[in-house]
C-alpha cells in the first residue's frame, strides 16, 4: 500500500471541493465536530490513519516464511500467533486472539466473515473489497469450491476444505503450503512467495523460481 498524502494538519480545509463525494464532506465534518467537542483529538485521527496505511501483508508473509523454515517457530505460531508475531517484532493488532491454521496436503482452509468483514488487518493490511462484498460473504460459506474455482484454485475431492467464519474476536490467518522446489530459497525469498490471498485461503502461494534463476 503506497503512502497517502493527508492534510490532517489543516482540519479547516474548504468544506467542498468540486469532485468530492458527499461522504467525504460528511466524514470531515464529523471529524471537525468531534474534535471541537473534545470527544477525540486530531492526533488520535492522525495516529489511526498512520497505523492503517502502515499495515501490509508483508508482516503475515514473514510469519509464514519463518514457519516454513523453522518447525519450532511453526509450533509456536500455531499455538499462539499473537505471541509469535510479537516475537518477530510485528504488531498482531488489537484482537485478543490471532489463530494461525495450517494448510496441508489433506486440509485447505479458507476464511470469511459472513456477518461483516472481520479480518486480520494488522498482519495483512486492509481487506480487499471482494472480501467485504456481499457475494463473497454469501458464497464462501455455501459454495466455497465455486469461489475457489473463480480464484483459480482447484482442490482434489480428497482434500478437506475448511471454511472459517470469523464470527467473534478471533482473527484467522492461513499458513499456506510451502511451494515445491523451494528448498534452496532463503527465508526472505520465501516470504516473497507468500501472497495476501494465500493467507486468506483463496490462492496458493507463488511458485518457487527455477533453480539457478
Partner 1 sequence: MHDRGGWPTQAPIDRSEHQLADWELLVDALVGALGRHGVMNVDELRRGIEGMPPDEYERASYYERWLYSVETVLIEKGVLAPRELDRRIGG
Partner 2 sequence: MRYRGDQRVRIAARLHEGHHRIPGYLKGKTGRVARVHGSFPNPETRAYGTDGLPRQPLYLVGFAQRDVWPDYRGPAGDRIYADVFEHWLEEA
Binding site for partner 2 (CB under 8 A): 96-97, 99, 114-115, 141-146, 157-158, 160-170
Three-state SS at 165:
strand
Element (H, E) at 149: helix 144-150
Give the count of beta carbons closer than 10 Å to the beta carbon of residue 197.
21
Phi/psi for 208 (5° steps) reads: -65, 145
Catalytic entry in 54, 116, 133, 142: 116
- For partner 1, the binding residues (CB under 8 A) are 1-2, 4, 6, 8, 15, 21, 23-34, 37, 39-41, 44-49, 51-53, 112, 114-117, 126, 128-130, 132-139, 141-142, 147, 150-151, 165
Shortest distance in whole angstroms from residue 2 CB to partner 1: 7
Task: Report DSSP state, residue 101.
Answer: E
Catalytic, 117? Answer yes
How far lies 56's CA from each of 14, 126, 152, in Å? 32, 8, 23
Shortest distance in whole angstroms from residue 156 CB to partner 1: 22
Catalytic, 113? Answer yes
User: Measured from the CB atom, is 106 or 134 closer to partner 1?
Assistant: 134
User: Measured from the CB atom, is 1 or 86 closer to partner 1?
Assistant: 1
Pairing of strands 97-102, 160-165: unpaired
Instruction: Give me the active site residues, please.
Output: 113, 116-118
Amino acid at each position: 500500500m503506497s503512502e497517502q498524502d493527508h492534510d490532517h494538519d489543516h482540519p479547516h480545509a474548504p468544506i467542498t471541493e468540486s469532485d468530492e463525494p458527499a461522504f467525504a464532506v460528511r466524514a470531515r465534518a464529523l471529524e471537525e465536530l468531534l474534535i471541537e467537542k473534545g470527544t477525540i483529538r486530531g492526533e488520535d485521527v492522525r495516529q489511526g490513519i498512520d497505523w492503517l496505511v502502515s499495515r501490509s501483508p508483508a508482516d503475515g508473509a514473514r510469519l509464514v516464511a519463518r514457519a516454513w523454515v523453522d518447525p519450532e517457530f511453526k509450533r509456536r505460531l500455531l499455538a499462539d500467533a499473537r505471541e509469535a508475531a510479537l516475537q518477530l517484532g510485528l504488531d498482531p493488532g488489537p484482537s485478543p486472539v490471532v489463530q494461525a491454521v495450517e494448510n496441508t496436503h489433506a486440509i485447505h482452509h479458507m476464511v470469511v466473515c459472513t456477518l461483516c468483514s472481520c479480518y486480520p488487518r494488522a498482519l495483512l493490511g486492509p481487506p480487499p473489497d471482494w472480501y467485504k462484498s456481499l457475494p463473497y460473504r454469501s458464497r464462501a460459506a455455501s459454495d466455497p469450491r465455486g469461489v475457489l474455482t473463480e480464484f483459480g484454485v482447484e482442490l482434489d475431492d480428497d482434500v478437506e476444505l475448511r471454511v472459517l467464519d470469523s464470527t467473534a474476536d478471533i482473527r484467522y490467518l492461513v499458513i499456506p503450503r510451502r511451494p515445491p522446489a523451494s528448498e534452496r530459497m532463503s527465508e526472505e525469498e520465501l516470504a516473497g512467495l507468500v501472497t495476501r490471498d494465500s493467507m486468506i485461503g483463496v490462492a496458493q502461494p507463488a511458485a518457487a523460481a527455477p533453480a539457478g534463476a
